[in-house]
Structure 1
């Protein structure tokens, strides 16, 4: 694949002399046209196809939540076509056959806002998670008022990310706490991230998990 920054083909799209030219955001790319696949049902092809439905299902479940807003913003920052395209590009490889999801590798959020330094788990049980960090609000991409936010995926709803409401802490506090809802779950996958007060910028996430005893 090549980026055509200084080419007469910038802005073009379609097939040209054995290459496919396409545009993503403000950039134009060219790649060789794919060869006809003699056996589209090989193990590799089947595994690759199994990734898409899982990624699509999880993105669809995030619609209407803060996560959808995060994806729209990060797509604009990275010059992607849409939040949907960003999510697929970032996460396709964490999904697999038989409903497999590699939750620690899942990028549930991203963005230009910086995570605090040294973010770590302090205490955890089935009801809450306590985290701590170093306040880095003096840096350019961080503010003291940035608030801690937490999205969760519970094992009884493996494709349903939920942004939790009962979360306490801002960057200047150096610590925060999230209270988990009751329910018929055994394991909770938690993604801690930060957002500005005006909701215009968000950070990447830090993964933690909690299991009921």
Structure 2
């Protein structure tokens, strides 16, 4: 790119012999036009195109629920344009061709709250899941009153995350249980996260899964 302020083309605009001339403010610039791409569908571009529809489909399924609010908070904390842009940035590589989704790497939530220590699922079947953890409350990013929430994706609705209804369990309790609904599903992907008492801050999520026997 060249600056043309001292040339006869200063103040001009348009195309000339493979170059484009344009103005920004009071300055005139000239740059070479991009060459035509002989193969715009490279393997990398094709893979990227396959990822985007899956990510967009899942985000649309979250737009009317609590998870949209969680993503909007994450976007503000990380100074991203929107929860939509945060979700695409975090999860584009989770999706692939032929409806492939790596659920274990999916990030449905994020935020400045900490997850508790050593969170694990100690029991689980097609009716419920029981989680335990070590209470790490005592700081601004981890309060005993932070509430456990569980989002789920069922394999018969693979693009539709939902937050499950459950009794109140807090960080200070050290354990929590969520009941699973009946249905035609065979596998459920669970994402445990915490919300502050005011539900203005959230934590990242921890992944678990249950398959019917």
TM-score category, normalised to shorter length:
0.7 to 0.9
Partner of 2:48: 48
Contact map agreement 1:130 1:176 (CA 8 A) in 2: yes
Tell me which residue corresponds to 1:13: none
Q: CA deviation at 1:41?
A: 2.0
Q: Which runs of 4+ in 1 moved over 6 A?
A: none
- The normalised TM-score by structure 1 is 0.82
Q: Distance in 1 between matches of 2:193 and 2:74?
A: 14
Distance 1:129 1:142 in 2: 23
Structure 1 gap ranges (5+): 1-32
Q: Which has the larger radius of gyration?
A: 2
Mapped to 2, the partners of 1:137 and 1:36 lie a distance apart of 58
> Tell me, what secondary structure is at the counterpart of 2:101?
coil
Shift of 1:45: 1.6
Partners of 2:109 and 2:167 lie apart in 1 by 17
Question: Is the 1:167–1:179 Cα contact (8 Å) retained in structure 2?
Answer: no
Cα distance in 1 between the residues matched to 2:35 and 2:191: 40
Please name the residue that 1:104 is paired with. 104
Contact 1:55 1:95 in 2 (8 A): yes
Structure 1 partner of 2:21: none
What is the number of equivalent residue pairs in this alignment? 181
TM-score by length of 2: 0.82
Cα separation, 2, equivalents of 1:154 and 1:36: 45
Q: Show the counterpart of 2:200.
A: 200
Query: How far 1:89 moved relative to its partner?
Result: 0.4
Q: Which runs of 5+ in 2 are unaligned?
A: 1-32
Map 1:162-177 onto structure 2 (within 5 A).
Answer: 162-177=162-177
From the superposition, tell whether residues 35 and 167 of structure 1 become closer, same or farther in structure 2 (CA, over 3 Å): farther
Q: For the structure 1 residues 121 and 195, does the alpha-carbon distance in structure 2 shift closer, same or farther, using more than 3 Å as the test?
A: same
Question: Offset of 1:39 from its aligned partner?
Answer: 1.0
Q: Report the equivalent of 1:95.
A: 95
- Where do residues 1-213 of structure 1 align in structure 2 (5 Å cutoff)? 37-213=37-213
